[in-house]
């Protein structure tokens, strides 16, 4: 079963996935906002089980020292180290048969077969319980492109399961 936690920006998708992890266990990754002097500058990736964090994306022009850009998308520059970290997390989760699997967030980058797309594909192939966060306006496209058939949507913008 794939649980798709859907909502708009700032609806609490990451917090929801973290609260489910605390109750159910498993492992995966979340994307946390980074602020500098109260100004949003990007995201970091965090492994749920270990709390290890790495910078994931910075607004162009706000990159941290020794930034290792792998690609840009819209206003963000993405780190190759963060995606290598995510790949290692994914490989370990799959190798150790850990479930459920959590991936925050699947979006336009994954629709272009980048970002966490390979992690999601491998997780889906494993037939384990998966929790994804997806922006509300992308849910049907994510379901179609990744051929997700056994799913339920937890819509945070309505507070209801559909």
Q: At 10, is the pLDDT very low, low, confident or very high (cuts 50, 70, 90)?
A: confident
Q: What dihedral angle (degrees, nearest 10) is formed by the CA atoms of 84, 87, 149, 24?
A: -120
Write down the pLDDT at residue 159: 47
Phi-psi category of 152—alpha, beta or left, where left has phi over 0 and alpha has psi -120 to 50? Answer: beta
Q: At 158, is the pLDDT very low, low, confident or very high (cuts 50, 70, 90)?
A: low
Distance of CA 118 to the CA centre of its chain: 12
CA dist., res. 161 & res. 17, Å (int): 15
Higher pLDDT, 38 or 159: 38
Average per-residue pLDDT for the chain: 93
Write down the pLDDT at residue 160: 47
Q: At 64, is the pLDDT very low, low, confident or very high (cuts 50, 70, 90)?
A: confident
Domain span at 63: 2-161
* Domains: count for the chain: 1
CATH number of the domain enclosing 115: 3.40.50.300
């Amino acid at each position: 079963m794939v649980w798709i936690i859907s909502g708009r920006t700032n609806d609490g998708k990451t917090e929801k996935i973290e609260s489910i992890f605390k109750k159910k266990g498993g492992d995966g990754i979340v994307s946390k906002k980074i602020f500098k002097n109260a100004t949003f500058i990007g995201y970091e990736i965090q492994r749920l089980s270990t709390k290890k964090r790495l910078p994931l994306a910075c607004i162009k022009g706000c990159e941290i020292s020794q930034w290792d850009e792998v690609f840009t998308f819209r206003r963000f520059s993405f780190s190759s180290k963060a995606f290598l970290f995510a790949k290692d997390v994914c490989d370990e989760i799959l190798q150790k048969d850990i479930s459920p699997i959590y991936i925050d967030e699947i979006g336009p980058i994954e629709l272009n077969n980048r970002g966490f797309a390979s992690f999601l594909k491998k997780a889906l192939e494993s037939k384990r319980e998966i929790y994804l966060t997806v922006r509300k306006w992308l849910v049907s496209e994510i379901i179609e492109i990744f051929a997700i058939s056994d799913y339920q949507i937890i819509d945070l913008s309505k507070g209801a399961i559909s």
